[in-house]
Structure formats: C-alpha cells, structure tokens
Amino acid sequence: MNPAQLHLLLNHIPVLGTAFSIVLLLVGIFKPSEELKRVCLWAFVVLALFALPVFFTGQPAEQVIEGLPGVSEQFIAPHEDFAKLALFGIEILGLLCLSGWLAFRRSKGLPSWLIATVFLLALVVGGMMVWTGHLGGMIRHTEIRSGFQPQDEERKPEIPKDTSQVKPDAD
C-alpha cells in the first residue's frame, strides 16, 4: 500500500465519523441519554486521534500523485491549506470533549452548556471535514470541478438505437 492509498483509506474516518457522531449526539440529546452523550464525547476524542495520521499522510500522498496527468498544485494547495484548519478544529473539539469528560466523569449528568458547545463546534468541524474532503476530491475527480463539461457527443461511442441491428456474439 502506497502513501496515497493509505491517505485515501484513512481520510473517510474523520469525515464520516464526525457526521455519524453528530447524529448520535442529537439522539442522546432528544432521547435523553447521558450514556450516549458520554459515548459521543469519546467518539470525538477518537476522531481527533484518527485525524492526525490522515493529516500526516497527506504530504507523502502528494509526492505519489503530483506527477500524474490532471493533477496540479492548483487543486492540491487549497486542500492542503484547508486540511490544516480542519485538523485544528477537530483537535480543539477532541480536547474539549476529553476535558469535559474528565471534569464531569463523576457527576450524574453532563452540563447542558458543554453538550451545546460540543454540538455547535461539531457542526462547524463537520462542515470543515466535508469541505476538506471536497477539495481533496477535486485533485483527481475532474467531474466535480467547476466548469466540468462532459465529453462531446462526437467523442462518445455510437450506440445503435434499433437493437435489431445488433448482432449477437457467436459462442
């Protein structure tokens, strides 16, 4: 497995994990379930830890793909720059959740201000993770780039409209 494969494998964890944890936190809030809220705090801590190898495999991944056709610094640089902000955001979220859990681990319930703060920060971080993923996708997926035009009709293979003209393959 090369660094680009490792980066692609790992980068889905913080993006999808943040979204999943936000949904679980909402369930914990509306159910209400103190256990689920505490699990969500730990989930955000774990996601903050997973974000570190995702970020640190980015530079080696860039070295693998930078010479490939269609890959340019024009698409890599914004992804790399925003990934730094997203990493900072998820690490702050993870530290908040860890410190909140430690501060209130012996109490019956978590304070509503902590849960509200975690929820709002998680929404911001979740958006940052999605945007970072979008910018990363633009590096190799031309179909999501602004101004993308599908192939011209004359470049597409001709498909017969009348299936009676299609000859079956001989076995």
Instruction: Please state the φ and ψ torsions of residue 166, each to the nearest 5 degrees.
Output: -85, 125
Q: How far is CA 9 from CA 59, 61, 165, 168, in A?
A: 15, 11, 45, 42
Bond preceding residue 32 cis, omega within 30 of 0: yes
pLDDT at position 35 is 95
pLDDT at position 87 is 97
State the pLDDT confidence band at 16, using cuts at 50, 70 and 90: very high
Percent of the chain at pLDDT above 70? 83
Distance in angstroms (rounded) separating the CA atoms of residues 19 and 129:
9
* Mean pLDDT, the chain, whole residue set: 87
pTM for this one?
0.80
State the pLDDT confidence band at 137, using cuts at 50, 70 and 90: confident
Tokens of residue 117, six digits: 């703060």
Distance in angstroms (rounded) separating the CA atoms of residues 60 and 98:
30
**DSSP notation for 68-108:** STT--HHHHHHHHHHHHHHHHHHHHHHHHHHHHHHHTTTSS
Q: What is the mean pLDDT of residues 83-104?
A: 97
Contact at 8 Å (CB) between 76 and 138?
no
Tens of pLDDT, residue by residue over 35-89, are 999 999 999 999 999 999 999 999 998 888 888 887 888 888 899 999 999 999 9
Q: What is the mean pLDDT of residues 5-34?
A: 94
pLDDT at position 65 is 83
75-89 in b/e burial notation, b at 16+ Cβ within 10 A?
bbebbbebbeebbeb
